[in-house]
A and B are shown apart, each in its own frame.
Chain A
Amino acid sequence: MINLKQYSILLVTLFLSVSLFAANDELENQVREIAHKLRCPTCQGLSVKESEAGLAVNMKAKIRSQLLEGKSEAEILDFFIQRYGEWILRSPTKSGFNMLLWFMPGVIIIFTIFILYRAMKKKEYHASEEPVTTLTAKEEAQIEKELRKLERD
């Protein structure tokens, strides 16, 4: 039979195990999240998260150790940027010259729509301005004369 003391120890052990497991799970999620933002230097088109290359494994271990030291995501990303350059980020940062990369596609689309709109407007304007040709008195007399001649023949 389990007495109360043994039961309490069992309960506390169980609680601590669950807490430890949850904390570890949270840490691994953070490692994966940061690793997903970094480019694997030795692979083609893979993130550090997706790669199992030696260097990518080392990078994940480094991310884990820095998180355990209490470093923030920004500080960890900065560590890799300082050593590998901005290239190591899979998405460029939204600052400085990189702003151009982020907003250029939108600017190009808006500019294209504007150009098309102006071209269409211009076409409409020209269509509505089609000249109405009226005959001069001399021309009308000429036509009248020709018609009469036709009737006679």
Chain B
Amino acid sequence: MNFWASWCFSCRVEAHILEQAYQDYRSQGVVFIGVAINDEREAALEFIRKYGKTYLLGLDDKIGNISLDYGITAVPETFFIDRSGTIRKKILGPVDRPSMDTFLATQLN
């Protein structure tokens, strides 16, 4: 579960990393979700097109209920959630591929 925004510079850094990881793991049933916070629909769609994102993406509501529920402090922030729905890890700032691979290795075996 990745929180991002089209106006966030660090989100551009991780955009391709997330998309590539999704392409590599989607066949194994791993779900990637991106929630854009404090963003405009058109700006978010432009970002999605520009970085070729294909996983499940959407906007948080006006109050930011989803991001507040997750205790977001800034974007980007990424939560690693296991099969039972328990948050196992939180990454502040751009997510990196080794962290995703390490977590997913523990979940997919």
Residues of A bordering B, CB below 8 Å? 41-42, 54-55, 58-59, 61-62, 65, 83-85
Contact = CB atoms under 8 A, between A and B. Distances in A.
B38 A54 contact: yes
Interface of B: 37-38, 62-65, 67-74
A84 B71 contact: yes
* Interface of B, helix, strand, loop or mixed by DSSP: loop
A contact patch SS: helix
B72 A55 contact: yes
A62 B65 contact: yes
Contacts of A58: 37-38, 63-64, 67-68
A124 to B, nearest CB: 57
Contacts of A85: 71
Contact of B62 (A41, A59, A61, A84): A61
Contacts of A83: 68-71
A63 B68 CA distance: 11
13 contacts: A41-B72, A54-B38, A55-B64, A55-B72, A55-B73, A58-B64, A59-B68, A61-B63, A62-B63, A62-B64, A83-B69, A83-B71, A84-B73
Contact of A42 (B63, B68, B69, B73): B73
**Which of A54, A59, A83, A84 is packed against the most chain B CB atoms within 10 Å?**
A54
Contacts of A84: 71, 73
A86 to B, nearest CB: 12
Contacts of B38: 54-55, 58
Contacts of B73: 41-42, 55, 84
Contacts of B71: 83-85
Contacts of B69: 83
A42 B5 CA distance: 15
